[in-house]
Amino acid sequence: MTSARIIGTGSYLPERVVTNHELEQLVETSDSWIRERTGIRERRLVGDDQSCGDLGRIAAQRALEAAGCRGEEVDLIVVATCTPDRIFPSTASALQHSLGLRPGGAAFDVSAACSGFIYALSVADRFIRTGGASRALVVGAETMSRIIDWEDRGTCVLFGDGAGAVVLEAGEQPGVLSTHLHSDGRHEPLLYVPWGPGQGYAALESQGGYIRMRGNEVFKVAVNTLTRIVEDTLASAGVDKSQVDWLVPHQANIRIIQATAKKLDLAMDRVVVTVGEHGNTSAASIPIALDTAVRDGRIQRGELLMLEAFGGGFTWGSALVRY
C-alpha cells in the first residue's frame, strides 16, 4: 500500500527578535506574567520588506535540500496560512514558480488557522495515497504580526512570524499513518479576525482587521479538545500511547502542551517545545518544531510522532506519523 513519508524538513524564522521586556514598553504586562502563563520568552517579527511567501520559500528550500530533491521533482504544493500574500493567486502558486516546482502540478492554499499544517498534511497525504502526486511540498507560513493589535495585551504577547515545511514522497515504507480533521463553527466568537475582503472595505473601518480572542475560554476548549483527539487518534490506529516516541504539538501555550503530554503519560523531555523562542506562529508552528527536533538529533528515523493542533474556527486536527 502506498504511503506518504516525510523525507525532508525545513524552517525559517525572521531575524528581528522581540522580547517580553520590549512588550512591557507597549502594554501593561511583564516578562514574568507572559512566561508563567504562556511559556513564551520572545517571538520573531517579519521584516518590512518580507512577505509570508518569502518566509515560506526559505523554509521550503531548506526542506528540499534536506530531502535531496530538486523542485521539478515535486508535483504538488499545499501552503497552510491565514496570512497569505494576496487574495489570489495563492501563495502556493507563487511558491511553485519561485521554487522551480513542476509546472502544471496542483498548487493551492489551505486556511484552517493554527490547525492549517495538519489540514495541509492530510490533503497531501491523500493525494499521494490515491496516486494524485508522487512528491509533495507542504508548507506552513505565517506573518501573524500583521494582524495583531499591538495595544491588545491579550494577543500581542502570544503571536510571532515564521515558516516550516516538509517534503513527502510516495513509497511502501510506513509514513503518515493517519490524520484526523475537525471543525466546529459555533465557537467562532472566541477566536477570530472580524474582517475579510468579502465584507467590503467599509466594514474594515468599522470592525478592524486584527485578531480578537477570549483567551480563558479558548484555553478550556483547547485542552479538552486536544486530549480527546489524542485518544481518538491512537484508538483508530490501534496504537497504545506507550508506543508514541514524540509529541510534536502546536506551539500556542506551554500549559496546553503540558496538559496534552500528561494525557499521553509522556514525560516533557519527549515533547518538542519551541514556543519559548517564537511564540504562536499559527500554521507554521508544528513544522518549525518538527524541523528543530529533526536537525538537533532528537527525532530519529523510525520513531512514532503524534502531531496535534487547535485553532480559530474552531478547527483541530492530528496526525500519527512514522518518521
Active site residue ranges: 114, 250, 280
Distance of CA 310 to the CA centre of its chain: 10
C-alpha distances (whole Å) from 294 to each of 9, 118, 248 are 8, 18, 11
C-alpha distances (whole Å) from 96 to each of 71, 106, 223 are 8, 9, 36
218 contact partners, CB below 8 Å, separation of at least 6: 190, 191
Q: What angle do CA 71, 77, 78 make, to 5 degrees?
A: 155
Nine cell digits for residue 155 = 494577543
Strand bridging mode 42-45 / 16-19? antiparallel
C-alpha distances (whole Å) from 103 to each of 77, 95, 109, 168, 246 are 11, 11, 17, 18, 36
Nine cell digits for residue 284 = 507554521
Distance of CA 87 to the CA centre of its chain: 20
The string of DSSP codes covering 149-163 is -TT-HHHHTTB-EEE
Question: Length of the chain in residues, anyone?
Answer: 323
